[in-house]
A and B are shown apart, each in its own frame.
Chain A
Amino acid sequence: MSVLPDELWFRILELGAGTSRLDYRDLCSLAISCRRLSQLSSDPALWSILLALDFPQSSSSPSTLPPKSAYKIRFERDKSRKVLLWRRAVLNVESQVAVSEKRLRDLESLMVKEMERLKTVGDELSNLERARHATVALNVWQPEVVRSSHMEIVGQCTVPIESRCSALKMEVKVCKQQIGVYKNALNEEKLRLCERKEKLTSLKYHPLQSYQTSNTDDKDNVKRKKLKQSKYSYWK
């Protein structure tokens, strides 16, 4: 294959570049493979084609530079832009991770508080239950010792037992419900955190690929944030 005449090789490269079969990278790979292809692949005509294809907006201002150098400069400029975009994407996801982590901590402390509340309510409820039993017991005959201790329990209880009892039961229900909600939220937030951490590692792993995805990701993130706010605002 290498013995094909130069014209044919050039035609291959020209057609390849013109039909986007060959890009700057392929031309550079060709250039490294051997001297002849190095010379052929450096032809200004090829780089003019690539320049026009990859940076169409620059074709309006013809430069005095040889097309290959012009392409290189455009490419570098584009590269630094890509790197900036990538950094922004990384920062964005990093801050999202931080938000998720804070949210998790908040939820955990809320959960602990709610558990404590449940415990105090539960204690009070069991006290009340005892008092209620005592009042019921007072209605029947009992030995004097037992009766006096029951009287004492009932005497200590200053609130109307029945209504307080049902109020407390309500509260227990509410507490349990709230804990359930927190648990769900915790799980969701954990999933979200995992997702974001994964994204962060993948972003950091493919620094150049991130350029294409970062734009769509940004939109995604905004959406997700909005979703999050609307979904969970009733807690605040």
Chain B
Amino acid sequence: MVGVKKKMVTLVSSDGVEFVVEKRVAEQSLFIKNALNEGGVEEKVMIPIPKVTSDTLSSVLEYCEKHASATEFQENEIEEWDKEYIEKADLDLLYYLLQASYSMSIMGLMELGAKKVASLIRGKSPQEIRELFNIKNDFTPEQEEEIRREMQWNYE
């Protein structure tokens, strides 16, 4: 964060696309921050990001860029931005963002995504939840019957 020449880092997505970003942006990810510290290399760092495709990574970096300069904005401005950012992500992107934020250790993004998923679950029936997340019902009919009976205390 010092005022000297901006240090740049190159991130490589799982499908081989290179992203050149400021170090302070990349460091929003604890995973990258640690990698940089461990490496101790000053110039021209290349960090491969496994399991994160270029599409996802560009979206992740959009988040990192905003939050790296969070001090320039009002708190509620950032909140608004977060809201819009996660609102426009479809279910697929949401899934990849969660995966990426988890593997790259970006806690803010992970929480943002997790809250969004929780909002999606809210008020849905078991069947609707299965359909939403493409979950297979792996209970046997007897087991489902049993668990339904166990849960019926809150269903009128």
A interface, CB within 8 angstroms of B: 1-2, 4-5, 7-8, 11-13, 15-16, 19, 21-26, 28-38, 72, 75-76, 207-208
Is there contact, CB below 8 Å, between B151 and A16? no
Binds A, one of B12-20, B62-70, B119-127: B119-127
With a cutoff of 8 Å between Cβ atoms, the chain A residues found around residue B57 in the complex are none
Per-residue 0/1 for B124-156: is the Cβ within 8 Å of any A Cβ (1 yes, 0 no)? 111101101111111100001001100101111
B110 interface residue, CB < 8 Å from A? yes
The answer to whether A28 touches B119, judged by C-beta atoms less than 8 angstroms apart, is: no
Q: Judging by beta carbons under 8 Å apart, are A208 and B153 in contact? A: no
Size class of the contact patch on chain B? 35 or more
Docked Cα-Cα span, A24 to B155, in Å, equals: 10
Bound complex: CA A36 to CA B147 (Å): 13
- 4 nearest A-B residue pairs (beta carbon): A16-B118, A1-B133, A32-B126, A21-B118
CB of B139 within 8 A of CB of A8, answer no
- Taking CB atoms, residues of chain B closer than 8 Å to A5 are 102
Given A8-B110, A15-B111, A28-B154, answer yes or no on A34-B147 (Cβ-Cβ < 8 Å): no
Task: List, in ascending order, chain A residues with CB within 8 A of B89's CB.
Answer: none
Known: A5-B102, A22-B122. A32 touches B144 (CB 8 A): yes
- Cβ-based interface call for B117 (8 A): yes
A residues within 8 A CB of B102?
5, 7-8
B contact face: mostly helix, strand, loop, or mixed:
helix
The answer on a CB contact under 8 Å between A4 and B98 is yes
**Can you list 16 A-B contacts with CB-CB less than 8 angstroms, sorted by A residue number?**
A1-B134, A8-B110, A16-B114, A16-B115, A19-B118, A21-B118, A21-B121, A25-B123, A30-B121, A32-B148, A34-B135, A34-B136, A34-B138, A34-B139, A38-B139, A207-B156
| Contact indicator A21/B130 (Cβ below 8 Å) | no
Q: How many Å lie between the Cα of A28 and that of B125 in the bound state?
A: 9
B98, B148, B153: the one within 8 Å of A72 (CB): B153
Query: CA–CA, A13 to B110, complex, Å?
Result: 13
Proximity string of chain B (65-103) to chain A, C-beta cutoff 8 Å, 1 when within and 0 when not: 000000000000000000000000001000100110010
If A8-B99, A25-B123, A34-B139 are given as contacts, then 7 extra A-B residue pairs at C-beta distance below 8 Å, sorted by A number, are: A15-B115, A26-B121, A28-B154, A29-B126, A33-B135, A37-B135, A75-B153
Report how far A1 CA is from B113 CA in the complex, Å. 12
Q: In chain B, what residue has the closest Cβ to A35?
A: B138
Given A8-B102, A8-B114, A13-B118: A33 and B151 within 8 A (CB)?
no
Q: Which residues of B contact A19 (CB under 8 A)?
A: 115, 118
B110 — nearest CB in chain A belongs to which residue?
Answer: A11
Give bound CA distance, A22 to B121, whole Å: 7
Partner of B154 from A2, A11, A25, A36 at Cβ < 8 Å:
A25
